[in-house]
Amino acid sequence: MSENIRLLNPQQVANFDVEYIDKSLFRLVCSVIDQNVHYPHQAHFLDVGGGNGLYADKLIAQYPGCFVDIVEPDSHMNTKNKPNDHKVLVNSVYQEFKGLQDYDMIQFNWVLHHFIAHSYAETHALQLEGLRSAYNMLGSEGIVIIFENFYEGKEHTNSPGKLIYQLTSSKLLKPITSALGANTAGVGVCFNSELHWREQLIKAGFSSVFSAHCYDFGNLNPFKKRILGIENQRVGMLVGIKTR
């Protein structure tokens, strides 16, 4: 499936050299881990698209003894990752990664919307396949934790995300979308509604799914929001539990 993937170029990825999980979001993550992972200090975690590795460092500091595998395709980002005996850095796309063991928790922090293929339908299939393979790489009571930007149209529809995909993935429109400020211009980005992601987690096999609202954000002016049909734009955390 990886030959079908459209990746951002290093300059585009360099814009993500930040750490989005602040203290309160990390507290939220830890409460989910503490409730669902029996021995977090001995756990194996996987951070997909782990970027500069700062998030993995936080997990290791919080749960000394745990191990974190990071799968990240961007070589420049990987050079930013501080070496640590408890981290394994895999320079690869997730779609080619087979997993180094059964994981207790797999995390996708703002990465699933970068799983982009050559059409909207194939992109959704790639995202679902990503969740299915996470399900298969988890141990029997493993969990997946996802942070995503939710884009919602009227009545919780997924239409803004589809329009954003069509505009950003178009090579023809790249000069315009780029001038309008889209960092993903010419490659594409595929945001979804909270409801869509919850449905995908259930399709991927997770027997229990919940989500939490984190904060509203508004990086688009009212005109752009109206054109894109955006009713809500927020950051949320999704959790899928394999079995109970």
Ligand X SMILES: C[S@@+](CC[C@H](N)C(=O)[O-])C[C@H]1O[C@@H](n2cnc3c(N)ncnc32)[C@H](O)[C@@H]1O
Contacting residues toward ligand X, per CB under 6 A: 5, 7, 13, 16, 19-20, 48-51, 55, 71-74, 77, 93-95, 109-111, 114-115
Give me the least distance between CB of 212 and ligand X, in Å please.
17
Written as six digits, the tokens of 205 are 């096999």
| Residue (54 or 209) nearer to ligand X, CB | 54
Give me the least distance between CB of 69 and ligand X, in Å please.
12
| Residue (57 or 72) nearer to ligand X, CB | 72
| Residue (5 or 237) nearer to ligand X, CB | 5
Q: What SS3 string covers the chain? A: CHHHCCCCCHHHHHCCCCCCCCHHHHHHHHHHHHHHCCCHHHCEEEEECCCCCHHHHHHHHHCCCCEEEEECCCHHHHHHCCCCCCEEEECCCHHHCCCCCCEEEEEEECCHHHCCCCCHHHHHHHHHHHHHHHHHHEEEEEEEEEEEEEEECHHHCCHHHHHHHHHHHCCCCHHHHHHCCCCCCCCCCCCECHHHHHHHHHHCCCCEEEEEEEEECCCCCHHHHHHHCCCEEEEEEEEEECCC
Angle made by CA atoms 63, 68, 71, in degrees to the nearest 5: 155
| Residue (99 or 229) nearer to ligand X, CB | 99
| Residue (78 or 208) nearer to ligand X, CB | 78
Give me the least distance between CB of 187 and ligand X, in Å please.
10
Give me the least distance between CB of 130 and ligand X, in Å please.
8
**In the complex, which residue's CB is closest to ligand X?**
49
Q: Which residue has the tokens 């408890």?
A: 86
| Residue (114 or 162) nearer to ligand X, CB | 114
Give me the least distance between CB of 210 and ligand X, in Å please.
20
Give me the least distance between CB of 154 and ligand X, in Å please.
27
